[in-house]
Amino acid sequence: MKCPYCEKEIPGITCPQCGSVSPEEAKFCMECGVSLVEEVEDTFEDDDGFDLGDRVLCPDGTCTGIIVDGRCSECGRTPDEVKKQEEQQEKQQEEQQEEQQEEEQPEEQQEKQQEEKQEKKEPDKE
């Protein structure tokens, strides 16, 4: 194969399908597109017996770890700890929403609610 500009000889590979010559580094034939590189089978073998299909991801939505021996490989927490933290966050969010709703109510309704709360706390002494 010759260079189209300087006409020097370029080492090449002959295509097994069409017989044209392509540069040595080529992965595909420039004429017919057939692969010039032998396909290598995926020969990855895991020696420690760890099966990627059986892994359990950390339940924390922001962590990229997997559960190994009951704990996350990245954050170190157990799934129960993650669940408790999520429950606490949900409770805090609910409380904040209730506070926001109370702030949005007119003052008269707030006063009535406060009176009702006081009545519940202090039973009638009559």
Domain boundaries, the chain: 1-36, 54-91
pLDDT the model gives residue 122: 66
pLDDT the model gives residue 13: 87
| Cβ–Cβ < 8 Å for 77, 71 | yes
Quote the tokens at residue 109: 């309704």
Residue 60 has a CB neighbour count (10 Å cut-off) of 18
Mean pLDDT, range 93-108, rounded to an integer: 79
**Mean per-residue pLDDT of the chain:** 80
Mean pLDDT, range 67-91, rounded to an integer: 89
pLDDT the model gives residue 115: 80
β-pairing, 71-72 vs 12-14, is: unpaired
- Is residue 125's pLDDT more than 70? no
Chain centroid, CA 107 distance in Å:
46
Residue 77 has a CB neighbour count (10 Å cut-off) of 19
Give 15-47 pLDDT, tens digit per residue: 988 988 888 888 888 889 888 887 655 555 555
Quote the tokens at residue 55: 């892994």
Cα–Cα dist 74/53, whole Å? 19
pLDDT the model gives residue 2: 77
